[in-house]
A = this chain, B = another copy of it.
Amino acid sequence: MASLEDIGVSALINIISAFAFLLAFALLRIQPINDRVYFPKWYINGARASPRHRGNNNFVGKFVNLNFSTYFSFLNWMPQALKMKENEIIEHAGLDSAVFLRIYILGLKIFGPITIAALLLLVPVNVSGGTLFFLSKELVVSDIDKLSISNVQPKSLKFFAHISMMYAFTFWICYMLYKEYDTVSSMRLNFMASKRRRAEQFTVLARNVPHGSSHSVSDNVDKFFNKNHPGHYLCHQVVYNANKFGRLVRRRHRLQNWLDYNQLKYERNPEKRPTLKTGFLGLWGKKVDSIEYYTQQIKEFDLRLTMERQKVLKDPKCIMPAAFVSFNSRWGAAVCAQTQQSKNPTLWLTNWAPEPRDVYWKNLAIPFVSLSIRKLVISLLVFALVFFYMIPIAFVQSLANLEGLERVAPFLRPVIELEFIKSFLQGFLPGLALKIFLYILPSVLMVMSKIEGHVAFSVLERRTAAKYYYFMLVNVFLGSIVTGTAIEQLHSFLHQSPTEIPRTIGVSIPMKATFFITYIMIDGWAGIAAEILRLKPLVIYHLKNMFIVKTERDREKAMDPGSVDFPETIPSLQLYFLMGIVYAVVTPILLPFILVFFAFAYFVYRHQIINVYNQQYESAAAFWPHVHSRIIASLLISQLLLLGLLSTKKAANSTPLLVALPILTLTFQKYCKSRFEPAFREYPLEEAIEKDTQDKASEPEINLKAFLADAYLHPIFRSFEEVELTEVKVEKSPDPVPSQPETEPVSPTHSHSPSPSHHSHEHEQEQEHEHEETTTVQHYEVGPPANVYQYGYAYHENIFHYNVNSYQETQHDAQHDYIVESPHSYYHY
């Protein structure tokens, strides 16, 4: 057990490393050459086209900051980060980011008063107890323990102080949570009300469309919704299975990268044309000219792509039993999304369509029966992963020891036998498997969530966050408190009585306070400081800059703004809440460390959100109910553990007082759920009709059908052959003749145009879990949106690089394109 000095040393080390990161960040961020790494958001939204620091217009000044005065204001990003107001952040980065920041503020609001109260009231109570002073000869007692509940004698009446503080803390936390839920839900409603007309407000995703024997899916959809939503149904877009097409696009894109690389090489060294061997891995085979080879290959691929595309459009087998169904009013869509359509409740499942950029196409085709089986399998797998993940790792570790290595590679023996290498490897190898596992864990969980069959990236991220939280709760929190692996814990929990479990854990809690303090400093302080440095994107950007980037546009592509990594940040935030709430009564000295974490992380993430991150979708804070309910879960856990702890302290007269607390907390949670959660699940009709009325008043002549026609058209397809598109667009361009879709009869042929531009494509980019460089290109409309009727709002689409050229040519006058490369945007593998 660590003493106060040990903690001090650890704190010193972590503070120094945190400052080192901050210093490195301060130095790197003011170099113009890194401007696109540390301020990509400003490039993306068009506020900046080239580095700001251009005082010295010489050659060196373009890459290195020569204005030395800026080197001294090394923390000046902090006040800068605070300048922006919340509504500006919502405008600038979306509601998701703004509400994400609010979680840190909530942490400060919750733990600030709790820290003061606990330090002022509980610590004196604990210190004056003094069991440990008597026992100190037998036990190894730390100074921290003198401040904790361990120091109070069994059967002491002082436990009433702890119990009443637990009550006070619970009420305070519930009050803050209630206020915050209220605020966030009204922010969400306001945000949705303030949004411009968007396709997803009018669109519902219908899944499990039955296959009529004679009719096509599209006819079925038209017939069904014309019949059951007469006067509201407008049009629909069917979903195509374009997995193979997506794979081809990806391979063509890789060829394009190689071509760019070789062309750049040739430009820099014009004497020697680059060559390559066509055989396996370029190791043997015929030697050919690289540039010609790749140009030829790309030409062939374009042909194959065209053919594949024709096949997808023609083949009825490629049509998935799902469709995006659009209505002529928000009211109609809200009604369809919230009601049961068919007599068979497994057919015609309707739900709000995700944002176009949020759709995860691949999962749209999963049938109903398969969904429940998938959910079962995945929940079993998650359970196994949480409790048995050590088994395969131990197996790999047993293989990866030195003897195994020597047997596999006998020629390495002389090297391995060296003493210092041997000891290094022996310390290093067993941990390697675990490190790799923990590194790839979020990706594995994301794959699991994808297999579960969710159709939006936002939902996938939330589900992944949930799984990650379970893993952290069992393996980080409980695993640190109760010694032994998770599987041993599971075994002992199954064979212990239910009342014994909180006791076993509760007893160990005060003893582990120092461990968690160290954890907070490493993960929370130094880890967050490392986050702001963005080492990985920095390196990757400069590598790309060196090898691929030819034009300014390529440089835009090479930027990787990233986004708030919800699947990892939210569970770890919840872990901090859990630690804070559990230790608030037990070892209050832990609380200041948590406070520092919340404050510091708030600064860092505020800076990143303003300057760096570029969210891939906007879910309007849909993750909030999960954050809320997990904080409530933390409360319940802390109450149960305190109950267990006190029951071992023989505080029989006071312990029963705690029993009411979990019941009250659960009731509070139930109330909050019914009071606020509908705002996150449904779209109230009152709101829908209000917006509809406003719209009708402000733009009575809008052609909604044209606006919605290609909203859910896959961007790959949209930009593939612009010629075909423009043909279609003639009919969709803003019509001077007022045409009200509400009154005109909806004809099936009208709503489902036979032109291929009405079909959506699936691209398989996210399906293959390789670490390849799939360059996604993002479009931002800047300035007055000339073709607002086609795009509706400045959303950003994943368009593959090679399509941009043709797209650019035809659309160059209409819109301004920023092209950004973001290989790790949604996920991390």
Contacts and interface: CB of A to CB of B under 8 A. Distances in A.
A553 B229 CA distance: 51
Contacts of A677: 345
A228 B497 CA distance: 55
A340 B684 contact: yes
A499 B496 CA distance: 8
Given A340-B684, A685-B340, A345 B228 contact: no
Contact of A498 (B228, B339, B343, B494): B494
A269 interface: no
Contacts of A696: none
Contacts of A493: 498
Interface in A622-678: 663, 667, 670-671, 674-678
B667 A373 contact: yes
A508 interface: no
In the complex, which range does the number of interface residues on chain A fall in? 35 or more
Interface string A332-358: 001100111111011010000000000
Interface in A474-507: 493-500
A682 interface: yes
Interface in A496-529: 496-500
Contacts of A346: 674-675
A677 B345 CA distance: 8
B338 A339 contact: yes
A686 interface: yes
A687 interface: yes
B667 A340 contact: no
Q: State the copy count for this chain.
A: 2
Contacts of A341: 684-686
A376 interface: yes
A372 interface: yes
B671 A189 contact: no
B494 A495 contact: no
A683 interface: yes
A397 B632 CA distance: 44
Contact of A686 (B343, B498, B671, B684): B343
Nearest to A335: B335
Contacts of A372: 667, 670-671, 674
B345 A679 contact: yes
A223 to B, nearest CB: 11
The CB with the most chain B CB atoms within 10 A, among A229, A494, A495, A497, is that of A497
A174 B651 CA distance: 50
A15 interface: no
A47 interface: no
A324 B342 CA distance: 26
A543 interface: no
A338 B683 CA distance: 12
A639 B224 CA distance: 44
Contacts of A339: 334-335, 338-339, 682, 684-685
Contact of A228 (B343, B663, B686): B686
Given A372-B671, A376-B663, A678 B340 contact: yes
A498 B496 CA distance: 7
B667 A376 contact: yes
Interface string A371-385: 011001000100000
A369 interface: yes
A227 interface: yes
A55 B664 CA distance: 71
Contacts of A683: 340
Contacts of A342: 684, 686
A101 interface: no
A498 B498 CA distance: 7
A694 to B, nearest CB: 13
Contacts of A343: 189, 679, 684, 686-687
A348 B687 CA distance: 13
Interface of A: 189, 224, 227-230, 334-335, 338-343, 345-346, 348, 368-369, 372-373, 376, 380, 493-500, 663, 667, 670-671, 674-679, 682-687, 689
21 contacts: A189-B343, A227-B686, A228-B686, A230-B689, A338-B338, A339-B339, A340-B682, A340-B685, A341-B686, A342-B686, A346-B674, A346-B675, A372-B667, A372-B670, A372-B671, A372-B674, A373-B667, A376-B667, A494-B497, A497-B498, A498-B498
Shortest 6 CB-CB distances between A and B: which pairs?
A345-B678, A340-B682, A338-B339, A495-B497, A340-B684, A335-B335
